[in-house]
Amino acid sequence: MRSVVVHGPGDLRVDERPDPAPAAGEVLVAMEWGGICGSDISYWRHGASGTATLRHPLVLGHEVAGRVAALGPGVEGPEPGTPVTVHPATLVGDRELPCRIAGRTNLHPRVRYFGSAAFDPHTDGGFSQLRCVPADQVRTLPDGVGTAHGALAEPLAVALHAAGRAGDLVGRTVLVNGAGPIGCLAVAAVRHRGAATVLAADLDPGSLAVARAMGADEVVDASAAPLPDEVDVVVEASGAPSALGPVLRACVRGGTVVQVGNLPGAPVPAVLGDLVTREITWVGSFRFVEIADALDALAGGVDVGPVVSHRFDLADAGEAMAVAAAPGSSKVMLRLDR
């Protein structure tokens, strides 16, 4: 089978690897679609993503969907041919979470994730023609949801988790700052959760066009105009420290800012005074708890199609990665069965 493998910074290859066979408790999935994420780009560019450093060749990809090809011993379903996506997280160890975060498995201290170098040996991802997956990580796609959209259930779950961190959004005005793929999916997520008015801000006109297509009522070119005032909730999806001052000022007194954009791990200057004087609740949002909410949203009519800007065959993974890393793209998809 062919797999998209990063061997080091700037060294991405489509390698031939042996076809896997499902072991007990596993499902063999014939992958059809995968979405390129920022972490995939980071491994390709830098040989690392956050604190996870590449030590060995790694199959990339954690936003994937395909069809069941075979069941391992002891697995009763889903039947071969069933379209599925994958929950890419595996909890490591049997440590129970403390009561204060009970059920919030995204905060488990040790998690193996598809396409991650956080552990050694690394955890290969799903950018392969075939991938064996633990049966409890396989999720059947709802009727009417194809694998092209099912591959985006994982980033949609991230966006829905961020929306949920803001509390009840019904009837509220929400600003999404940063209209990359997660920001644009957050536009759809907050709308799905009942926001009355959704605004989106970014520096790039193309990204703003995607945000509008995803359901934003208004868009703001942050390079030419200030952010709006008195917004009930801000979903900060840019991860730019320079954005923190403006989004705190944009938030209504006593409002909420949800930080879903990854901030740098090193010291950076940021203007934070309004956090105190406006009594703003500033909360972080990390990954997601369950992918089921995303599948329900897709089944309920949330259209993730506008966030996709480019599609490439697996053989063209190098070009796809370069496009995903360049300005002017949104979500770049790989057709993994070609």
Encode pLDDT of 130-167 as tens digits. 999 999 999 999 999 999 999 999 999 999 999 999 99
The domain in which residue 106 lies consists of 2-152+304-335
Whether 185 and 236 map to the same domain: the answer is yes
Whether 58 and 183 map to the same domain: the answer is no
Among residues 124, 165, 136, 138, the alpha carbon closest in space to that of 286 is found at: 165
Whether 54 and 115 map to the same domain: the answer is yes
Q: What is the CATH number of the domain that holds 239?
A: 3.40.50.720
Contacts of residue 136, Cβ cutoff 8 Å, sequence gap at least 6: none
Whether 191 and 214 map to the same domain: the answer is yes
Name the CA radius of gyration of the chain, rounded.
20
Q: What is the CATH number of the domain that holds 53?
A: 3.90.180.10
Whether 180 and 79 map to the same domain: the answer is no
Whether 6 and 144 map to the same domain: the answer is yes
Whether 7 and 128 map to the same domain: the answer is yes
Q: Is the pLDDT of residue 118 over 90?
A: yes
Task: Note the pLDDT tens digit of each residue in 245-271.
Answer: 999 999 999 999 999 999 998 899 999
Q: Is the pLDDT of residue 338 over 90?
A: no
Query: Looking at residues 316-323, what average pLDDT do you find?
Result: 98
Please provide the average confidence, as pLDDT, over all residues in the chain.
97
Whether 13 and 132 map to the same domain: the answer is yes
Whether 201 and 93 map to the same domain: the answer is no
- Whether 289 is in a domain gets the answer no
pLDDT score of 196: 98
- Whether 292 is in a domain gets the answer no
Looking up tokens 């990854």 gives: 262
Whether 27 and 134 map to the same domain: the answer is yes
- Whether 273 is in a domain gets the answer yes
Query: Looking at residues 119-138, what average pLDDT do you find?
Result: 98
Q: 224 is written with which tokens?
A: 């030419």
- Whether 293 is in a domain gets the answer no
Percent of the chain with pLDDT over 70: 100
- Whether 290 is in a domain gets the answer no
Determine the distance from the C-alpha atom of residue 196 to the mean position of all C-alpha atoms in its chain, rounded to a whole number.
24
Query: Looking at residues 40-46, what average pLDDT do you find?
Result: 97
Domain count, the chain: 2
- Whether 275 is in a domain gets the answer yes
Residues 15 and 12: their CA atoms lie apart, in Å, by 9
- Whether 299 is in a domain gets the answer no
Contacts of residue 39, Cβ cutoff 8 Å, sequence gap at least 6: 49, 50, 62, 115, 116
Which residue type, as a one-letter code, is found at position 204?
Answer: D
pLDDT score of 121: 97
- Whether 7 is in a domain gets the answer yes
pLDDT score of 265: 86
Whether 177 and 275 map to the same domain: the answer is yes
Which residue type, as a one-letter code, is found at position 98?
Answer: P
